[in-house]
Amino acid sequence: MLVHFTPSSGIVVGMLVVCLVMVLVFEATNGFHDTSNAVATVIYTQSLKPVQAVIWSGLLNFIGVMVGGIAVAYALVEILPPDVLTPPDGAPAVPMLVSIFAAALFWNILTWAFGIPNSSSHCIIGALIGVAVADALLKSRSVVQGVDWKQIITVLEGLALSPVLGFLLAGGLYGLLRLIVRRGHLFEPPKEGQPPVWWLRGLLILTCTSVSFSHGTNDGQKSIGLIMLTIIGLLPAAYALNPDATAQLTQLSAHATAAIPLIEKYGDDVKPHALQAAKMLRDAQPSLQKQASELQSTDPPADGERATRAQMRGAIYEVVSQMKHVGEVKSATTIDKKEAADLLKQMSLPVQYAPLWVRMLSAFCLGIGTMVGYKRVVRTLGERIGKQHMTPGQGASAELIGSVLIGTAGFTGLPVSTTHIITSGIAGTMAVGGQGLQRGMMVRIVLTWLVTLPVTIGLSAGLFYVLANPRF
């Protein structure tokens, strides 16, 4: 449907603007959906007033995004096939962007409206998988080869393991606290108008701080890659290539030359397209030198650079995708796999980046989102998981374990779900504490977690199939 419009047409530009708004709104919903987990304990135990808690958490989320890097951002983006990320003709990837943002945003808001702590990570990952599957069907490719299942499995492993670790480790820590501290405010539900003693209040504020910062380093990155895809569609001449990777850009010709034999030997079912892309880069040394020079210039890009830089970006992703594939081929030699890994790293630098202002914009939206809409999820976490209200010790245990797991994942490039870790952590402390779990609410939460991927995959796949289908 949308493929019939020219890249510079008014409807395409308008849709890109809508996409930018949607991804920013999604980041805000990520803030008030996921970060409610960080402020739940300090608000519910009256350690901080709600306004103080959400402002503090929003600030720490902002800082977390700014120092957390972009490894998680591109771990998600690379789920998409190269020709979807950057269409070969240099056109903006509007069908992909609309499908991802609409599906993820719809499910994120729907679950929040019912007060169910759901994972924004699962929403966006499901939407990405849906687009990859629909693209394979549109191109009559095997879904097995047309979708990067290894990347998807790597991402999903972290998401599946994290709530189990949250439940076990938070429950274990709370059990240890009960052995060490026999009595006191740690194990008493808060009373109206009575904040905890000063040392317990400080502990809860500290754990809130650590979870908020860790959330920024991990979840805050997830929209950065998607914001980049949108602004590249709007301003490809300015943002398609990394202006700080000009040295790697000028070396692309040599890298492509080295990649061609590997593609010829180990390429998958789109080997012809990848070879064409690699040969284009191999023969583009004069153009690459020119691009590197112009990227460092403060003058506006020359006419025609929109398509040229977008096409070059697409060619790089085609070759990079094949280098990843070489690393997965069992018959590939150790030497070839090492060479492919080196080429993958070097060739990714010109296309995997995020300007400071994009990271600040993502951090700002996440922080603002943290400051609104938190009440529904906070009440669920504090009152509706266990048969008794959450105690300060339970909240501190869940958040301390959560901050360690989330922070570690953020700096290793592995996406995890803040919601799943904290919610399962609180459930673990409830089980160990003997209060028991509210079966109805836990069933609703677990069912929501289980259907999130199928729902978002189906929504985004259906949208993309219609919007990217030239027959419509």
pLDDT in tens, 48-74: 888 888 888 888 888 888 887 787 778
What is the pLDDT at residue 5?
59
Taking CA 20 as the corner, what is the angle to CA 17 and CA 23, rounded to the nearest 5 degrees?
Answer: 150
Q: Which residue has 């003709």 as its token pair?
A: 89
- Per residue in 343-383, pLDDT (tens digit) is 999 999 998 888 989 988 988 888 787 777 666 666 677 66
Q: Residue 409 pLDDT > 80, yes or no? A: no
Q: Residue 303 pLDDT > 60, yes or no? A: no
Q: Residue 396 pLDDT > 90, yes or no? A: no
What is the pLDDT at residue 372?
72
For residues 74-113, b (16+ Cβ closer than 10 Å) or e, as one string?
Answer: bbbbbbbbbbbbbbeebbbbbbbbbbbbbbbbbbbeebbe
- Per residue in 118-154, pLDDT (tens digit) is 777 788 889 989 999 999 888 888 787 777 787 778 7
What is the pLDDT at residue 245?
86
Q: Residue 3 pLDDT > 70, yes or no? A: no
Q: Residue 297 pLDDT > 80, yes or no? A: no
What is the pLDDT at residue 9?
67
What is the pLDDT at residue 422?
83
Q: Residue 302 pLDDT > 70, yes or no? A: no
Higher local confidence (pLDDT), 288 or 428: 428
CA dist list (Å): 322 to 71, 79, 81, 171, 373: 20, 14, 11, 44, 43
What is the pLDDT at residue 379?
67
Mean pLDDT confidence for 104-121: 83
CB-based burial label for 310 (10 Å; 0-12, 13-18, 19+): buried
Q: Residue 241 pLDDT > 80, yes or no? A: yes
Residues 6 or more apart whose Cβ sits within 8 Å of residue 361: 24, 227
